[in-house]
Amino acid sequence: MVHLMPNLIILQYLRYTRQITPTIQNEALELLEKGYQQQLSYKRTDGSFSAFGMRDPDSSVWLTAYAALTLKQAKNHIYVDEKIIEDCLEWLSKHQGKNGSFVETGSIIYRELQDRDGNSLALTAFTLLAFIENQKYAATYSNTINKGLDYIARNIAEQESIHTIALCSYALQVAKHPSKQSAFNLLDVRSKTKGNQKWWAKDVPSNEIKNPWNKLPKSIDIETSAYGLLTFLEANYFEDAIPVLNWLLDQQNSIGGFTSSQDTSVGLYAIYKLVLKLASNVNMQVEFTYGEETHNFNVNKNNAMIMQKLQLPKNTRQVNVTAQGRGLALFRVSYQYNMNVTGPWPMFTLDPQVDKNSNKDHLQISICTGFVSRNLSQSPESNMAVMEVSLPSGFTADVDSLPSLEVSQNVQRVEMSDALTKVILYFNNVSSLYEYCPTVSAFRTHKVAKQKPVAVVIYDYYDSSRRARLFYRGKRSTLCDICEDEDCGEVCTSEANPQVAGESRESKGGASSLQFSRLGFVIAILAILRR
């Protein structure tokens, strides 16, 4: 469901800044139409939404509010059935508590927002935004909105979660509630600053400080800081918002997103709202030097939407950048590196085992996994978790067996990617109290020898620091296993017939190693010619 929002943000920005072209507009509208149809697949018969539609036992307050929020914005660009939004708001209003709060009725897949054990302030704030943004229905649901805002105002001062404070502060600012300034002060005092950056972050438990994944951008911190930025903008503190923008831009990956679809949606929306204030006719010269080399990029209104790139030498350690002109542009240095074979500091148990009935043509791998809860204050369950099972070279997923995975324990959805060479499993959550052991089947569709180990990865969809990775190897195949008839040569014939093998070694001496090398070369050529 969260894939619709990024396309909306980009389209709205390009239209506002008059940088839209017919080609880009048609492509964006096509993606919105597709996203709209996909979102409808999560709709339930009572008008609500959930993570996996009618497959879920219950509706989700969070995702119903999310649907009402995104579909309202999508309606400005494509056809959206108004009754879908009406049904969402009506369903939500019926699930508001007497004290004004909204408590999750469905599966907990994002604990920071849906936690039933807390006071549900974050979910209440998010749900109220769906009502407030749909101004057409503001009068109809004014009592719902006011009860919810008063509930937030009464309880925010006692809240410890900075994510909740940020989201509640934003909702109070948007609604222009009398307590908006006191909530803003609670948010501002909890900020972190360094240099020209400002952000908000969840405190890391003492027993996880050494976790190297915590050094990477965390989804919850990105989302919290994005709501902080939106709060500053609603309060008209534009200059104070720039350091938050600097931090958010520093957390983006090489293609402009963040760590998950959820934080990317909120992060891009916050950046978009601020950039609208700064938008102007850009025209600048950017010069960067590394070593003795110098290169220039010109950024102007005609190419502002084109990413200009240059591959740097591998030994580059420092890049100096200067810019002259006017406008706003982003310069980024992206890099990649290899990691250890197994992921450090695993937050899930992971045990991929190739079943005994597997052979060179058929693979069955059972992967047992569980959540690692490192302290008593931590929930024994993860948020929604995703397992990615890569298959050895030459193997593709057994499509007919995938439906059986969807009815197995706690697996809610199964997808495939990379031309059926990767199977992706979605879990509502993974528990520390027991393990789940789904089995993935695959068939050999291409003859490949000497396959390298491949990875199984599992991670918390909403917390990038929670992950584990382990490699496994399928049944080994040699060149002789994949050659055919005369292509195999004498070496494979010798291996198949031990008696002949002895005679061959005696008569030809050291020629066998040369013959093997030639065999590999011939098979490689044949493989290329047959493509």
Kindly indicate the confidence band of residue 122, based on its pLDDT and cuts at 50, 70 and 90: very high
Write down which residue in 292, 326, 360 finishes a domain: 326
pLDDT at 524 over 70: no
Contacts of 352 (CB under 8 A, 6+ apart): 365, 366, 367, 389, 456, 470, 472
Is 39 contained in some domain? Answer: no
Kindly indicate the confidence band of residue 326, based on its pLDDT and cuts at 50, 70 and 90: confident
Same domain, 404 and 303: no
Contacts of 506 (CB under 8 A, 6+ apart): none
Is 221 contained in some domain? Answer: yes
Specify the number of domains making up the chain.
4
Is 459 contained in some domain? Answer: yes
Kindly indicate the confidence band of residue 69, based on its pLDDT and cuts at 50, 70 and 90: very high
Same domain, 206 and 288: no
Is 142 contained in some domain? Answer: no
Same domain, 466 and 505: no
pLDDT computed for residue 2 by the predictor = 63
Same domain, 254 and 358: no
Same domain, 258 and 298: no
Q: Which amino acid is at 266?
A: V
Same domain, 209 and 238: yes
pLDDT computed for residue 52 by the predictor = 87
Is 56 contained in some domain? Answer: no
pLDDT at 184 over 60: yes
Asked if 283 contacts 325 with a C-beta cutoff of 8 angstroms, the reply is yes
pLDDT computed for residue 44 by the predictor = 96
Same domain, 445 and 404: yes
Write down which residue in 279, 294, 312 finishes a domain: 279
Round to whole Å and give the CA distance between 392 and 395. Answer: 6
Same domain, 251 and 318: no
Round to whole Å and give the CA distance between 142 and 477. Answer: 68
Is 48 contained in some domain? Answer: no
Same domain, 352 and 461: yes
Same domain, 206 and 273: yes
Tens of pLDDT, residues 481-510: 778 777 776 667 555 554 433 333 333 333
Same domain, 197 and 209: yes
Residue 300 backbone phi and psi in degrees, to 5: -140, 180
pLDDT at 519 over 60: no
Is 341 contained in some domain? Answer: no
Is 522 contained in some domain? Answer: yes
Kindly indicate the confidence band of residue 522, based on its pLDDT and cuts at 50, 70 and 90: very low
Pick the closest to residue 62 from 49, 53, 75 (CA basis): 49
Query: Tokens for 322?
Result: 């200067």
Same domain, 234 and 209: yes
Q: What is the CATH number of the domain that holds 442?
A: 2.60.40.690
Domain that holds residue 357: 348-472
Write down which residue in 427, 453, 472 finishes a domain: 472
Kindly indicate the confidence band of residue 109, based on its pLDDT and cuts at 50, 70 and 90: confident
Q: What is the CATH number of the domain that holds 309?
A: 2.20.210
